[in-house]
């Protein structure tokens, strides 16, 4: 723990700094906004604060603070959740930057959940071919996953995150106080990525959740900071080793091949974490059917996700559409579908071109009891 700019105790997790990338910090704690000016860069004159409607007041407060410190600060309000991750909304942001005379030394600040920071990072990556940006995630998912690692992007009609860029932020400020206003549905959906970090790399996360699932469902839980920090450390280690996903980073896609297909199939009305929850159960079944994952670890997926209140099943009649969408997953090579599976707890690996019968059998396991599924 070290003190923040405002004197509060914070945890600083280093990200990047390998293979020629600039290192930055994910800072976890409270009262962190004093860190912002340092992260905006010495030459920044203009700052664009991108926020979703739900955080309009927070965004305006931040804009006014920055204006008080001498920046030309503009507020760019965007729709909530996935509705912000479109080419139209990105174009709206580009227009706002253009109209305020935004130059290469100016900076973008994305304040919000993963959808907002994905969009804000993408706008920063593309404006003048790349300007500085800072992520201020306000959801569990944003803190533990989306804001860290530099994957930015938007969706297209054909699927999830199909347009984007790797553009790491200058810093990530995770103020745990932001989580207090998050609805339980959004809070819990973010825990799916925390569970993912547990299965692919840090089983202590699973033990903390299993010991007190009810506590884990609330920001007031005894282990909130530890769960957030552990999951960030997993992500930081992986993206520091492989920023552009030439290998190891693919493990962060555990549960996402089916998860992204479900999100698209549900027209993005399911939260990302809820879809990834079902996707992880599917991936665990695939691993088990392929003879790679033991029964106990496969069963543990359903148990821990269910204990948190996350969905573990999906409508059985949708399989042909899901399969079609999975064919354009970013891990697919040519016609060969590729899945992240586990060879054991914390032993992620790639399963290339599974037999269609195997996929169907894994699907049957998540389709059973689909009437229980909910986003």
Ligand X SMILES: NC(=O)c1ccc[n+]([C@@H]2O[C@H](COP(=O)([O-])OP(=O)(O)OC[C@H]3O[C@@H](n4cnc5c(N)ncnc54)[C@H](O)[C@@H]3O)[C@@H](O)[C@H]2O)c1
Ligand Y SMILES: O=C(O)C(=O)C[C@@H](O)[C@H](O)[C@H](O)COP(=O)(O)O
Residue ranges for the known binding site are 114-118, 138-139, 151, 160, 193, 256, 272
| Cα–Cα distance measured from residue 272 to residue 136, given in angstroms and rounded to the nearest whole number | 19
- For residues 230 and 272, which CB has a smaller minimum distance to ligand X in the complex? 272
- From residue 101 to residue 140, what is the string marking binding to ligand Y with x (rule CB under 6 A)? ----------------------------------------
Residue ranges at the known binding site for NAD(+)? 114-118, 138-139, 151, 160
Q: Which of 35, 82, 106, 193 binds ligand Y (CB under 6 A)?
A: 193
What's the distance, CA 145 to chain centroid?
A: 4
User: Coil, strand, or helix at residue 330?
Assistant: coil
* CB closer to ligand Y, 97 vs 262: 262
Using the contact rule CB under 6 A, the part of the chain among 95-103, 143-151, 202-210, 351-359 near ligand Y is: 143-151
Q: For residues 230 and 173, what is the distance between their CA atoms, to the nearest angstrom?
A: 16
- Per-residue binding letters, 178-197, with ligand X (x by CB under 6 A): x--xx---x--xx--x----
Which residues within the stretch 229-248 sit at the binding site for ligand Y (CB under 6 A)? 245
Q: Which does 265 bind (CB under 5 to 8 A by kind): ligand X, ligand Y, none?
A: none
Question: Could you tell me which residues come within 8 angstroms of residue 76 by beta carbon, excluding any fewer than 6 positions away?
Answer: 48, 49, 50, 51, 92, 93, 96
Q: How many CB atoms lie within 10 A of CB 352?
A: 11
Asked if 236 and 14 touch (Cβ cutoff 8 Å), the reply is yes
Least CB distance from residue 164 to ligand X, whole Å? 8
Going by C-beta distance under 8 Å and a sequence separation of 6 or more, which residues neighbour residue 220? none
Contact region for ligand X (CB under 6 A) — 10-18, 51-59, 68-76, 309-317?
51-59
Q: Quick check: 82 binds ligand X (CB under 6 A)?
A: yes
Whole-angstrom Cα distance, residue 138 to residue 61?
15
Instruction: Kindly state the helix (H) or strand (E) to which residue 339 belongs, with its residue range.
Output: strand 338-342
Return residues touching ligand Y (CB under 6 A): 145, 149, 151, 160-161, 193, 245, 249, 252-253, 256, 330
């Amino acid at each position: 723990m070290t003190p923040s700019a405002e004197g509060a105790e914070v945890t600083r997790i280093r990200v990047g700094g390998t293979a020629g990338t600039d290192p930055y910090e994910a800072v976890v704690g409270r009262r962190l906004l004093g860190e912002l000016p340092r992260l905006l860069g010495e030459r920044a004159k203009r700052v664009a604060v991108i926020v979703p409607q739900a955080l309009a007041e927070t965004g305006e407060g931040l804009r006014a603070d920055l204006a008080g410190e001498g920046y030309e600060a503009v507020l760019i309000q965007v729709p909530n959740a996935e509705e912000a991750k479109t080419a139209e909304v990105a174009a709206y942001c580009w227009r706002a930057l253009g109209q305020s005379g935004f130059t290469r030394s100016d900076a973008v600040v994305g304040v919000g959940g993963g959808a907002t920071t994905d969009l804000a990072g993408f706008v920063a990556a593309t404006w003048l071919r790349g300007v500085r940006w800072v992520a201020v995630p306000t959801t569990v998912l944003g803190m533990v996953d989306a804001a860290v690692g530099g994957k930015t992007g938007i969706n297209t009609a054909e699927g999830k995150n199909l347009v984007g860029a790797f553009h790491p932020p200058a810093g990530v400020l995770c103020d745990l106080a932001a989580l207090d206003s998050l609805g339980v549905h959004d809070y819990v959906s973010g825990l799916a990525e925390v569970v993912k970090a547990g299965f692919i790399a840090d089983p202590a996360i699973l033990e903390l959740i299993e010991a007190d699932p009810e506590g884990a469902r609330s920001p007031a839980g005894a282990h909130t900071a530890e769960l957030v920090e552990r999951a960030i450390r997993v992500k930081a280690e992986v993206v520091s080793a492989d920023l552009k996903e030439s290998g190891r980073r693919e493990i962060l896609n555990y549960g996402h091949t089916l998860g992204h297909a479900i999100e698209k199939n549900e027209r993005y009305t399911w939260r990302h974490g809820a879809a990834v929850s079902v996707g992880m159960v599917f991936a665990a079944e695939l691993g088990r059917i392929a003879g790679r994952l033991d029964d106990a670890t496969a069963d543990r997926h359903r148990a821990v996700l269910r204990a948190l209140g996350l969905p573990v099943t999906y409508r059985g009649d949708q399989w042909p559409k899901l399969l079609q969408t999975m064919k354009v997953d970013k891990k697919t090579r040519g016609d060969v579908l590729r899945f992240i599976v586990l060879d054991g707890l914390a032993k992620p690996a790639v399963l290339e071109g599974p037999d269609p019968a195997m996929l169907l059998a894994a699907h049957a396991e998540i389709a059973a009891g689909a009437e229980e599924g909910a986003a």
